[in-house]
Amino acid sequence: MVAKITGLRTYDIRFPTSRELDGSDAMNPAPDYSASYVVIDTDAGDGLEGHGFAFTIGRGNDVQTAAIQGLEFAVAGRPVQDTLDDLGGMWRELVHDSQLRWLGPEKGVVHMAIAAVVNALWDLKAKRAGKPLWQLLAELTPEQIIELVDFRYLSDALAPGEALEILRRAEPGRAARLAKLRDGGYPAYTTTPGWLGYSDEKLRRLCREAVEQGFRQLKLKVGADLTDDIRRMRIAREEVGPDIRIAVDANQRWDVGTAIDWVRELAPFDPWWVEEPTSPDDVLGHAAIAQAIAPVRVASGEHAANRVVFKQLLQANALSYLQLDVARVAGVNENVAILLLAAKFGVPVCPHAGGVGLCELVQHLAMFDFVAVSGSMDDRVIEYVDHLHEHFVDPVTLREGRYLAPSRPGFSAELRPGTLVDYAYPHGPVWTSIAEGTGA
């Protein structure tokens, strides 16, 4: 009997984070961090499941969850081993399904649903291999890595041969970098101090604590009110001194001209990068801002819909830092393409994280990049936010401002069974107690 994938189970999981203004920024004043969560079951009898999710911020998580469930037709009944042996083929099948493709193409709810399923398949593959995902990826041959990538729409910027060349160049140093990663981890920066809804006192305390914890970079949300931003930036700079990098994040709030003017007002406080200054779709706008605010740098990508947008941002010299997201583009495979693009253009990748479980997942991609693609940690940091990690079976571990390399098999995507019950929306106990007015 060949073991088969038997189906998908999906869960609408929401956390009432808006009550504490955790995660508040200029465009998202009161998010309830949520996961459209999926479990892939098989009849292999080994007790292993694939876990994945899309991240949303509350309303619409039901729509996202339905979209994931709607992909069951494409995976149920398939042989487990053959499917996991050819995740490049599986990815193409999902992304190029002509009927579903009409709903994008390659963007939005369906693309994010594919991300959840693709990432869950990778989780299952890594568990079956008995390795953390970053290591599994980093031990593939350059040829196997190339097989994961769909070069359609990329070849004018990155041909398969060039990508292969990048991977082969990184090959000799892999073992040494793997050891270095296991010893010392990967640098992080923290967004914890900077949420817009926090008081000045809380900002001051959290900035101080961040430096004490070993972070060398932190990030403030900006873009709602210029006077407030100048005051908060002054407070942060006073607390951390001149040597700590302070990035600012506008979460798409500005038009191009406003972005340029606003950043000039903040420039005396030496912002390291300005993140998502305008619409994530506005490639030329990002490029105009980058040119106008230099030497302040532009960072973007957490809402870039797909590898084609990243290609254009890089071609237009619009980015100093590329911030891929683990669950917005279509999962591991598309992010491998984006890592290769970034390496080709020499732009450091500083992944987006936070939310629910994004830190847990994206650390694997940054570590794979270090070992097998860019070969460098220089000028690179993974975002860190200290919310909701306690809900994960294999939460991230930080020491002195660095992510330690995960050792447990899989993609670190698995939520605790109790969380799937307690935070189920709208009928889990956490939400029914809020509805009854008895919630915390």
Distance CA 127, CA 162 (A): 31
**Is the Cβ of residue 32 or residue 275 nearer to Mg ion in the bound state?**
275
Structural tokens at position 184:
């010392």
Least gap, CB of 371 to Mg ion (angstroms) = 26
Neighbours of 295 (CB within 10 A): 7
Q: Interior CA angle at 264 toward 381 and 26, to 5°? A: 65
Distance CA 33, CA 22 (A): 9
Extended strands (E) in 171-222: 186-194, 217-221
Amino acid at 115: A
The active-site residue, picked from 221, 344, 364, 391, is: 221
Least gap, CB of 253 to Mg ion (angstroms) = 11
Neighbours of 427 (CB within 10 A): 10
Whether 125 is a known active-site residue: answer: no
């079956």: which residue's tokens? 128
Whether 352 is a known active-site residue: answer: yes
**Is the Cβ of residue 123 or residue 275 nearer to Mg ion in the bound state?**
275
**Is the Cβ of residue 249 or residue 414 nearer to Mg ion in the bound state?**
249
Least gap, CB of 323 to Mg ion (angstroms) = 7
Least gap, CB of 387 to Mg ion (angstroms) = 14
Least gap, CB of 350 to Mg ion (angstroms) = 11
Residue sitting closest to Mg ion (CB): 249
Nearest one of 190, 192, 260, 200 to 229, comparing CA atoms: 200
**Is the Cβ of residue 157 or residue 305 nearer to Mg ion in the bound state?**
305
Spatial CB neighbours of 180, under 8 Å, sequence gap ≥ 6: none
**Is the Cβ of residue 206 or residue 430 nearer to Mg ion in the bound state?**
206
The active-site residue, picked from 51, 352, 364, 387, is: 352
Spatial CB neighbours of 431, under 8 Å, sequence gap ≥ 6: 14, 16, 423, 424, 425, 439
Q: How far is CA 350 from CA 48, 171, 379, 381, in A?
A: 31, 22, 9, 5
State the residues that interact with Mg ion by CB under 5 A: 249, 275
Active site residues: 221, 352
